[in-house]
Amino acid sequence: MSRKYVVSFAALVAAGAVLLSACGGGDAGAAAPASGSGAAAGSVSQNLSLLAGTAKANNATRATGDWATGSDGTPNTAKQSVAERWVQLEASRAGELDPVVVNGAGFTLYRFDNDTANPSKSNCNGDCAKKWPPVTVAKGGRIFVSGVRKSAVGVVKRDDGRLQVTIGGWPVYRFSNDTQPGDTNGQGVGGTWFGVTPDGQKAGVTEEQPGDDATPQPGDDAAPRKANSAILFDDANFSDNGPSQGVAGAGCQNVARPDVTSSISAAGSLKLWSEKNCKGKSTVIDGDVKDLATIGFDDTVASVFFG
């Protein structure tokens, strides 16, 4: 696995301004870099520019950057080099999420609980990245910000070598099932995907503060129920067309046929593991998950922990 490099634009003030010509392509006309933008530390993104204002206000070229999308609104892979010339991060409202960050085409951006923010690291690859396209920018590209603090914006190097934009350290993504600007179909998917706020927090989620007495205790009516059995389906959406297998018991239980599960039905919370004997990569689910690809665990389950 390649090493991940994280770059925070908070250091850009000290680094100095980047000449607009370093960005290449002239996508933003004669717009000058905003105060505080400049060469990011680290060879992976020396020429990235952080510019204040929207792409439109900076005269970005039509059909480039966030505007180079397919018919469903997701980045057009055939035009990836064009789409990665610039990214827009704008504080806005989408559905019931206010505030939430949207891109230049008005599509909601999300964060993934299975990623990490310190250090920044994306754990959504393969099929997961097809469902949740990462927001990426090319070396020498531009990031336009409106309502998002420059110090909150950075990039991280993905496994495939591309640079993914981060907010508050969290890598950000689109959702392929959002087909119209303002859609928030990815909110809460798998209990791990949430719209991202301008400071990198979960949109639409009230975080408990230290000292709050809101954590459910054993015996409380609101305490989460723990599963003691589950049905694992080889296909997504609990399909009866493919094989399935049951697993039950206390503690760690190995799966009879590992690495084939695409959806799970369970009456409560349990922990999934990528290796036998509850080792390797893990994630907690609470109840049914109709598509494990949405949480980066498709064809990955080798053992389950109950209790």
In the predicted structure, residue 25 carries a pLDDT above the cut 70: no
- Residues 107-123 have a mean pLDDT of 95
pLDDT tops 60 at residue 173: yes
Distance CA 136, CA 85 (A): 9
Burial class (CB in 10 A: 0-12, 13-18, 19+), 54: middle
Q: Sign (positive/negative) of CA torsion 160, 162, 165, 169?
A: positive
Q: What is the pLDDT of residue 219?
A: 45
| Half-sphere exposure for 82 (CA within 13 Å, toward CB) | 14
Residues 81 and 85: their CA atoms lie apart, in Å, by: 7
* 9 Cβ contact list (under 8 Å, min separation 6): 36, 37, 40, 50, 143, 150, 151, 153, 154
Rounded to an integer, the average pLDDT of 112-132 is 95
Query: Tell me, what's the pLDDT at 228?
Result: 82
Average pLDDT value for residue range 32-56: 55
pLDDT band at 75 (very low <50, low <70, confident <90, very high): low
pLDDT at residue 267, rounded to an integer: 81
Query: Among the residues of 84-239, which ranges form H helices?
Result: 127-131
Percent of all residues in the chain with a pLDDT value above 70, rounded to a whole number: 75
Q: Is the pLDDT at 77 greater than 60, yes or no? A: no
Residue 166 vs residue 208, higher pLDDT: 166
Instruction: pLDDT band for 76, please (50, 70, 90 cuts).
Output: low
Domain map of the chain by residue range?
6-195, 229-306
| Predicted confidence (pLDDT) at residue 225 exceeds the cutoff of 90 | no
Predicted confidence at residue 38, as pLDDT, reads: 32
| CATH classification code of 229-306 | 2.60.20.10
Supply the pTM of this predicted model. 0.57
Q: Among 22-26, 136-140, 146-150, 262-266, where is mean pLDDT lowest?
A: 22-26
Closest CA to 275 of 258, 251, 262: 258
Average pLDDT rounded to a whole number, residues 94-117? 95
> Could you say which DSSP state residue 250 is in?
S
Res 260 pLDDT > 70: yes
Give the confidence band of 242 by pLDDT, cuts at 50, 70, 90. low
